[in-house]
Structure 1
Amino acid sequence: MPEFTTDSNPELPQPARSSQPKRKCSKWYRPTVTNTVIVVLVVLLILPSRATGQFGIDTAAIMAALSKMQSLMNTYIAAPLKTINQYEQSTAKYEQEVMYPIAAINQAKSSVSQFENQFSQVSGMFSTNVSSATLPQSQSFESVLLSRNAGNVPTVSSQFQNVYGVVMPQNAASPATRTMTDMTDAQAQDAMKRAIEIDALADTELSAADKMGQQIALAAPGSAQILEAEADVWVVRANAYTQAALAELMRTRGIDLANQSKTAKLAASDSTSNNGLVNGSLTHR
């Protein structure tokens, strides 16, 4: 029995092919009901369950943080500030009612105004004219002495000589008498010059005191201490001027005593000379 092979005999009949068309495979990305359902489910899983605020921060978290911050501020800031405010109010009340009461301040200002009026009247007494000279030269000299102007000090010497004269010439008196007279005139002029300067200083002090009194009457309680300190400085200055005036009085008194001593010495010397002359005249008899 002969062997048949399909490879060696091309004329052998081929098996019949099916007449039905082949199914093409559908691609996975093509829209189908199943794919659509799957995509919708994935999208629903990805989307958030609820909306959030701006920048992705939850509004509830922000409100909770703000509430916590407000609570901390009320606890650690508001409470201490409230205590400080209460303390300041009590301090201000103590100052207004005890240390600087309004009624006492107004009363003090009223008293200062009254004192200032009285001081003005007293100051008017110092300006009263006390001139008493009647002759022309003495009137001119007196006006200089009562001028209360330190600029008139250089004219005192010439005015003094016009009234009291100059030291006597050498042949008119003994040297001791001339020396004592010169010293007496010098001290008298010094005292007169110093008196004019002290009058000018007194006017300056009175003017400063008037200004201070006016400022104190209008001053606030806080600035009154500053004015008081300045017034204390003027008191020290016034004491210094008083000491200068007292020293001038002491010098004048010293010259007066020296003149009395010199007069006694001259009298003793003259008495000795006269006794010698009397004894000599009696002896020669």
Structure 2
Amino acid sequence: MTDPKISPDKVRKPFFRWKRQSAREAIKPAMLSDTDPQPLKHPWYRSTPLKIGGAALCVLLIVPNHAHGQFGIDTAAIMAALSKMQSLMNTYIAAPLKTMNQYEQSAAKYEQQVIYPLTAINQAKSSVVQSENQFTQMSNMFRTVNVSSATLPQSHNLESLLLSRNAANVPTVSTQFQEVYGVVMAQNTTSPAVRTMTDMTDAQAQDSMKRAIEIDALATAELSEADQMGQQITQAAPGSAPILEAEADVWVVRANAYTQAALAELMRTRGIDLANQSKVAKLATTDNTGNNNLINGSLTNR
């Protein structure tokens, strides 16, 4: 008996029958005898158990399932943990921060009303502005008032040089001085002692004039710096006052140093004056001694 599974006459049906039958397949049933059993044909759209199972499996794969967030933890547990965390933060963080905020507000209020009151600050600024205006007028008077009094050309040039307040004019003082006061006497025209005293007196006089020009230049620079610092003070905030005060202290130290230099120059000038007086007395004594010897000799020879 032939196995029906391997029968050559068995018709292979496709899974889906949407293809057209070929001409050979159309005439094949006609060639069969009437006694042969006709194969049972089913339309492609008829359901079979296999088709139904595949469709159900596809639907199960496509339809989404319910998902649980937070690794399956319940939402109520999460909300309870968050509420507990918020309570702890309010107790141990918010309360200290609130206390610190109140303390900072009290300190700021104390500074604004007691230490740095706005009314006192405005009054101080107004007073500084008035003082600066007065200082500006004084500075302009110091710079613009002409005190020159010489009338002759040579003396006028030397006086203008001494009042120039320009340290660059110091090297030309010696030339102008010699044009007004002359040079040291020539040798053999007077005694060496007189020439030495004259040379030293002229040197000290020129040194004092040069130092006076330098001190005037320094005073002008200090006045300019004081004006700038005064303008900064009128526009400065209260917190920057210590910085400006420190800078002012530095300039005070410098001004004291310049004052000490001027005082030293005055002492030198006074010392030369005293030395000249002593030298004049000594020269007079020497001359008197010489004259006495001449008189005594003249009387003795008689």
TM class by smaller structure? 0.7 to 0.9
Q: Which runs of 5+ in 2 are unaligned?
A: 1-66
Q: What is the aligned counterpart of 2:254 among 215, 231, 237?
A: 237
CA shift for structure 1 position 53? 5.3
Quick one: which amino acid aligns to residue 126 of structure 2?
A: S
Q: Equivalent residues in 2 for 1:118-267 (5 A)?
A: 118-127=134-143, 128-267=145-284
Quick one: which amino acid aligns to residue 225 of structure 2?
A: A
Tell me the distance in 1 between the aligned counterparts of 2:150 and 2:96: 81
Matched, 1:116 2:107: no
Deviation track 1:37-68 (CA, whole Å, cap 9, x = no partner) reads xxxxxxxxxxxxxx965642211111111110
Q: Does the C-alpha gap of structure 1 residues 146 and 59 become closer, same or farther in structure 2, counting only changes over 3 Å?
A: same
Deviation track 1:57-93 (CA, whole Å, cap 9, x = no partner) reads 2111111111101100100110010011001101111
CA shift for structure 1 position 125? 2.4
Q: Equivalent residues in 2 for 1:40-55 (5 A)?
A: 55=71
Tell me the distance in 2 between the aligned counterparts of 1:117 and 1:158: 41
Tell me the distance in 1 between the aligned counterparts of 2:222 and 2:114: 34
Would you identify which runs of 4 or more consecutive aligned residues in structure 1 move more than 6 Å? none
Matched, 1:79 2:95: yes
Q: Does the C-alpha gap of structure 1 residues 64 and 262 become closer, same or farther in structure 2, counting only changes over 3 Å?
A: same
Deviation track 1:164-201 (CA, whole Å, cap 9, x = no partner) reads 00000112110000000000000000000000000000
Structure 1 counterpart SS, 2:129? helix
Tell me the distance in 1 between the aligned counterparts of 2:212 and 2:194: 27
Tell me the distance in 2 between the aligned counterparts of 1:201 and 1:248: 15
CA contact (8 A) 1:52 1:59 kept: no
Structure 2 counterpart SS, 1:172? coil
CA contact (8 A) 1:212 1:227 kept: yes
Tell me the distance in 1 between the aligned counterparts of 2:68 and 2:198: 118
Quick one: which amino acid aligns to residue 140 of structure 1?
A: N
CA contact (8 A) 1:167 1:181 kept: yes
CA shift for structure 1 position 251? 0.3
Tell me the distance in 2 between the aligned counterparts of 1:123 and 1:101: 33
Query: How large is the Cα RMSD of the aligned pairs?
Result: 1.2
CA contact (8 A) 1:180 1:262 kept: yes
Tell me the distance in 2 between the aligned counterparts of 1:123 and 1:133: 24
Structure 2 counterpart SS, 1:227? helix
Tell me the distance in 1 between the aligned counterparts of 2:69 and 2:263: 94
CA contact (8 A) 1:138 1:163 kept: yes
CA contact (8 A) 1:156 1:193 kept: yes
Tell me the distance in 1 between the aligned counterparts of 2:79 and 2:185: 113
CA contact (8 A) 1:112 1:216 kept: yes
Q: Equivalent residues in 2 for 1:15-30 (5 A)?
A: none
Look up the match of 2:107: 91
Tell me the distance in 2 between the aligned counterparts of 1:119 and 1:125: 10
Quick one: which amino acid aligns to residue 236 of structure 2?
A: A
Quick one: which amino acid aligns to residue 206 of structure 1?
A: L
Tell me the TM-score normalized by structure 2.
0.76
Matched, 1:70 2:86: yes
Quick one: which amino acid aligns to residue 291 of structure 2?
A: N
Deviation track 1:188-230 (CA, whole Å, cap 9, x = no partner) reads 0000000000000000111111101110111001111100000
Look up the match of 1:106: 122
Q: How many residues align?
A: 235
Look up the match of 1:19: none
